[in-house]
Every structure is written in C-alpha cells, then in structure tokens.
Structure 1
C-alpha cells in the first residue's frame, strides 16, 4: 500500500509517433483566459515542435484569428527554416 500511495497516476503509454527532423510533426493548443491583457489579448496559441521540443507562443485578440496565426507560422517556418510542416 505504501508504493501505491506514492504513485497517484499510471505511467504514460509509449508514444507511437517518431520524428527524425524538425517540423515533421507539430503539436498545438489554443486557450482563453478570463483576464484580458493590457493590449487586449484574451486567446493564446502554443505550438510545439515534436522533434526539437522548441515552442512558440502567440497571443491574439479573437478566437477566429487562430487560423491566421497558423498561416503566419507556416510561412515563418518556410522562410526561416526552409522546411514544410508535414503533420499537425
């Protein structure tokens, strides 16, 4: 019982996704806050590269701006890293 008390969660299963280069697979999540920032930002988009685990954070004012932010990020990756995002 002592061992079970110190392990409140089960271990995570092994992931089946495997990347061999940056931007082969990215993860993203969007969320909102109850408190609007000084500049009017209420929504946030975080993007994580599955290979390098590098992350980018983008604040925006409207939820509908998420697709615009993603398009700008895709263009950023293309121009700065000369890479295409393969999957999300």
Structure 2
C-alpha cells in the first residue's frame, strides 16, 4: 500500500468509525443471500453509510450520517419483504 492510499484508507476508516450507529432487529432473512439483499437495499437509503446484517440472528447495524431517517429505512426493508421489530 502506497502512502497516499494508506492516508485515504485511514481517513475513510476514521469517518466510518466515528459515524453514529444503530442496532435493529430484522426478521425474514433466511440465508446469506437475503442478508446481502438487505444490505444492498439498506445502503440506498439517504444518510446511510454502511449496513451490516447477520442472517443467523437478525441483527442489523446501520452506520449513518446526518439526514438518516429510520422510518424510510424500515419502509425500504419492508418493500423487500423484511420485517423490522
């Protein structure tokens, strides 16, 4: 890794580490493919920086910034057939 690449990585990592996060419980993920589909859909919602989904226990961690709307996130997941507790 070059110095410039390392600097950019560190800056992006700093931003992601210091962004607010929210943990929610989601049902309807039966396998990894469902989890991947949830992540892709969730990351299209305004204000969302990153989504991590665990299909085994239904936990979803949302890393977000300003302008994040939880209700919009829930609606996006519901449109894909998932249920937010």
Shared fold, TM over 0.5: no
The structure, 1 or 2, with the larger RCO (C-alpha pairs under 8 Å, 6+ apart) is 2
Report the structure, 1 or 2, having the larger helix content: 2
Highest CA radius of gyration, 1 or 2?
Answer: 1
